Structure 1
Amino acid sequence: MIDVSINESMAKGEREVRRRVEQARRSYELRVEKLPKGVADALQKGTYPIPLAELSGRDSMFVAGQIECPACYCNASIAFVDYLIGSGSYAERRNSVAFLLCQVCQLRLEGASELDVAGVDVRWAELPEITLKGMAEFYGQSDTFEDLSD
């Protein structure tokens, strides 16, 4: 009986994620069809950094990258918790993914399970060589790490 309840709850969560992806896809299609020709291609080639408001007020700092949105196929932002991502291996990416945000179609997915349901493979996320400015300032504090230059 417990297994049935868990399975029903998981199925409901999966349906909700699929509904949100389809809703974002439809919203994107409705907006794009009203725009001049060629705009859809430009939108798909554009890059859209995560707004600072999305990153502030949280307990963690993030490493942000880009990945294809499962709804509109534009470049979406994907954020990983900085202290969990390690070297960026597949397992570390899965364990550290925080959210996906597409500013074109407004899709937002939280955590590995929602990304899995939407068919997003975190291995394909393009990660920058540098981290957010706030991370650089935090890690650059002299009292955070030992000074090994002596």
Structure 2
Amino acid sequence: MQAMKKMGSMSKLLGMLPGANSGAMKKQLENFDEGEIVRTQAIVQSMTPTERREPKILNGSRRLRIANGSGRSVKEVNSLVDRFSAAQKMMKTMRNGGSIPGLPAGMANSISAQQSAGLRKPLSKNLPKNLPNNLPNKKKSRSGNPAKRAQE
């Protein structure tokens, strides 16, 4: 979020997206509130790293702590969590080949599988050859003993 803020206003960045100059999208960009990003950032920064990774663990007392820490209301924290879960669900639908509600038919599928593979190819060139496909979330613990560490 910090890097995006350095690039300029969010409405200008979103305006650069393809299709952003259409009527409905242009109207929404004009009504975009830059302060919403600051409020959202305050809520997210009041969460622990575990809460950021797993928003399902946010019970009432955690939400109250986050609201107090960010200077926002519990209602605003709940709204952010709901929007996040809706966005997560939409991304999952897109990943599984579904369409995005609200977009013109075929717009979500405008990038073919070949094109998206072509976009990923340059990124994979710089990766080591022996890198596994599924990296674990946890780091493997290492022994403090140099002899044991050499065996690992």
Considering the TM-score relative to the shorter chain, is it more than 0.5?
no
Return the index of the structure with the highest Cα Rg.
2
Structure with greater helix share of residues: 2
Larger RCO, structure (CA 8 Å, separation 6 or more): 1
Structure with greater strand share of residues: 1
Q: TM (normalized to structure 1)? A: 0.24
Q: TM (normalized to structure 2)? A: 0.24
